[in-house]
């Protein structure tokens, strides 16, 4: 069902794009236009066909990545072209000169000034859309920012003072994020020498087999205090069982409504993980893979006075982490909006008020990572990917 909805949306967008191009271009181009659009979408069609046939294993990923990027980049161009053309249309309507009224029984003449304006704007919008695509792709796939934070807590146990952890979120391993990119993220993270490595969800784009290149990329990277993960909503687009199994097999402990006690310097850190609500709606078909976030279950056997750090994929579920007694919560999910064309406004605000960065609720803190990967369109605008390095300090 999600695939069909996405296909209908893509077809609708391309139909609108075809109408726009027919309006902007001379008549002699109208006949070949549908065939040209089909040619540009052929890679995306092949990609979708391979996915439906289940040819999405590790060996097929390079081909899938190549094919899907061509199609998705054209989708990005189409969307931006339509948006810029809409702005041009509104500008023409606002600033146009009034035309003489015609008899209502007569057919309204074609306004040559409108067509000329739109044709001129087409050149500008095409250039602007291509520029957005190039800049957005460079931002998405260049080296991520390293965000280094020192967070202080008066009740931090002495032995945890100076603990250095790395948070990686929303990697979306799959057709748009390949092995080379994953290896680079691993190198940059390992350079920071964290004691603890935490993955806060959306490890794969949509299929369990996409996890394999991620595990290969991080093979041999063993911080002294361990590696832990929670799943995100994308990890439930298919049966998450193989993901849980392969994470544990690779030495990455998956905390789904569970906790791990970590010893350092004679003090104890309780690391919690809360399950994503998508576990109740697996494959978008209401398949139940778990109960969703259960703070009481995650903290059932923990000492009441232990310092608690919680991994919770969605920042909208921060209240659940607070109910678990978390002093620090690490989330992702928002991508920082991923595509933010309006300066000063994060597109992530459309899904909630906590978009990126640090938030405070009394003495408790939440950090929302912009994540590393992309979803849908292979670009980022004003939302650079980030690796988060946090040092805990006692005041």
| pLDDT for 37 beyond 60 | yes
User: Same domain, yes or no, for 303 and 169?
Assistant: yes
SS3 at position 81: helix
Residue 99 lies in a domain: no
Query: 313-337 pLDDT, tens per residue?
Result: 999 999 999 999 999 999 999 999 9
Provide the number of structural domains found in the chain.
2
Task: For residue range 353-369, list pLDDT tens digits in order.
Answer: 999 999 999 999 999 99
Q: What is the pTM of this model?
A: 0.85
Does 64 score more than 70 pLDDT?
A: no
Give the C-alpha separation, 340 to 139, whole Å.
Answer: 12
127 with 272, same domain: the answer is no
- The 10s digit of each residue's pLDDT in 201-248 is 999 998 899 999 999 999 999 999 999 999 999 999 999 999 999 999
Instruction: Give tens-digit pLDDT for 102-144.
Output: 454 444 455 666 667 766 776 677 777 778 888 999 999 999 9
3-state class of 310 per DSSP?
strand
> Is there a single domain that holds both residue 173 and residue 131?
no
Q: How does residue 292 score in pLDDT terms, banded at 50, 70 and 90?
A: very high
Same domain, 122 and 159: no
Structural domain contains residue 105: no
Q: Show the tokens assigned to 242.
A: 């193989």
Residue 43 falls inside a structural domain = yes
What separation in angstroms does the CA of 355 have from each of 142, 278, 342, 351, 366? 22, 19, 15, 9, 11
Higher pLDDT, 249 or 282: 249
Are 129 and 276 in the same domain? Answer: no
Do 183 and 46 fall within a single domain?
no
Domain range holding 154? 145-394
What is the pLDDT, as a whole number, of residue 259?
98
Considering the chain, what is the average pLDDT of its residues? Answer: 87
CB half-sphere exposure, 91, CA atoms < 13 A: 10
User: Which tokens belong to 273?
Assistant: 């993980």
| Within-domain flag for 376 | yes
Percentage of the chain beyond pLDDT 90 is 60
Query: Are 160 and 48 in a shared domain?
Result: no
- The verdict on 133 and 149 lying in the same domain is no
Coil, strand or helix: which one is 388? Answer: strand
At 316, which CATH number?
Answer: 3.60.21.10
If asked whether residues 208 and 332 sit together in one domain, one would say yes
Instruction: Say whether both 220 and 131 belong to one domain.
Output: no
CB atoms within 10 A of CB 53: 9
Mean pLDDT within 9-17: 81
Question: Residue 100: inside a domain, yes or no?
Answer: no
Looking at the domain assignment, is residue 101 inside a domain?
no
Structure tokens at 297: 């279950």
373 and 340 fall within a common domain: yes
Q: Are residues 256 and 354 in the same domain?
A: yes
List the one residue out of 77, 87, 35, 48 whose CA is nearest residue 378: 77
Q: Given a cut of 80, is residue 80 above it in pLDDT?
A: no
Q: SS3 for 314?
A: coil
Q: Residue holding tokens 């923990």?
A: 302
CA distance 185 to 361: 31
Residue 381, judged by CB atoms within 10 A of its CB (0-12, 13-18, 19+), counts as: buried
> 225 lies in a domain?
yes
Q: Give the residue, 115 or 276, on which the prediction is more confident.
A: 276
Tell whether 42 is covered by a domain. yes
């Amino acid at each position: 069902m999600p695939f069909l909805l996405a296909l209908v949306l893509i077809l609708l967008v391309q139909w609108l794009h075809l109408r726009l191009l027919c309006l902007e271009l001379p008549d002699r181009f109208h006949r070949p236009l549908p065939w040209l659009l089909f040619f540009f979408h052929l890679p995306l069609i092949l990609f979708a066909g391979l996915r439906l046939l289940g040819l999405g294993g590790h060996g097929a990923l390079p081909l899938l990545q190549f094919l899907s990027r061509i199609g998705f980049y054209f989708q990005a161009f189409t969307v931006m072209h339509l948006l810029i053309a809409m702005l041009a249309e509104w500008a023409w309507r606002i600033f146009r000169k009034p035309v003489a009224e015609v008899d209502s029984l007569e057919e309204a003449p074609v306004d040559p000034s409108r067509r000329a304006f739109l044709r001129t704007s087409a050149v500008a919008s095409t250039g602007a859309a291509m520029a957005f695509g190039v800049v957005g792709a460079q931002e998405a796939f260049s080296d991520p920012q390293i965000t280094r934070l020192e967070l202080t807590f008066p009740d931090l146990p002495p032995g945890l003072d100076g603990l250095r952890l790395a948070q990686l979120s929303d990697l979306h391993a799959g057709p748009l994020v390949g092995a080379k990119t994953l290896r680079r993220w691993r190198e940059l993270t390992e350079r920071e020498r964290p004691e603890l490595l935490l993955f806060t969800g959306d490890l794969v784009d949509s299929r369990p087999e996409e996890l394999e290149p991620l595990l290969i990329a991080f093979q041999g990277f063993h911080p002294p205090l361990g590696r832990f993960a929670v799943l995100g909503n994308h990890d439930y687009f298919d049966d998450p069982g193989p993901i849980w199994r392969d994470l544990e097999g690779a030495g990455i402990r998956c905390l789904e409504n569970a906790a791990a006690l970590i010893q350092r310097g004679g003090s104890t850190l309780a690391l919690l993980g809360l399950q994503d609500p998508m576990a109740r709606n697996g494959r978008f078909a209401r398949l139940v893979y778990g109960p969703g976030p259960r703070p009481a279950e995650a903290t059932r056997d923990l000492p009441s006075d232990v310092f608690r750090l919680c991994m919770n994929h969605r920042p909208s579920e921060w209240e659940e982490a607070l109910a678990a007694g978390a002093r620090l919560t690490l989330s992702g999910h928002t991508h920082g909006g991923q595509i933010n064309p309006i300066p000063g406004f994060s597109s992530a605000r459309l899904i909630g008020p906590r978009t990126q960065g640090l938030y405070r609720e009394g003495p408790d803190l939440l950090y929302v990572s912009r994540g590393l990967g992309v979803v849908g369109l292979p670009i980022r605008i004003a939302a650079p990917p980030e690796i988060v390095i946090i040092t805990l300090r006692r005041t």
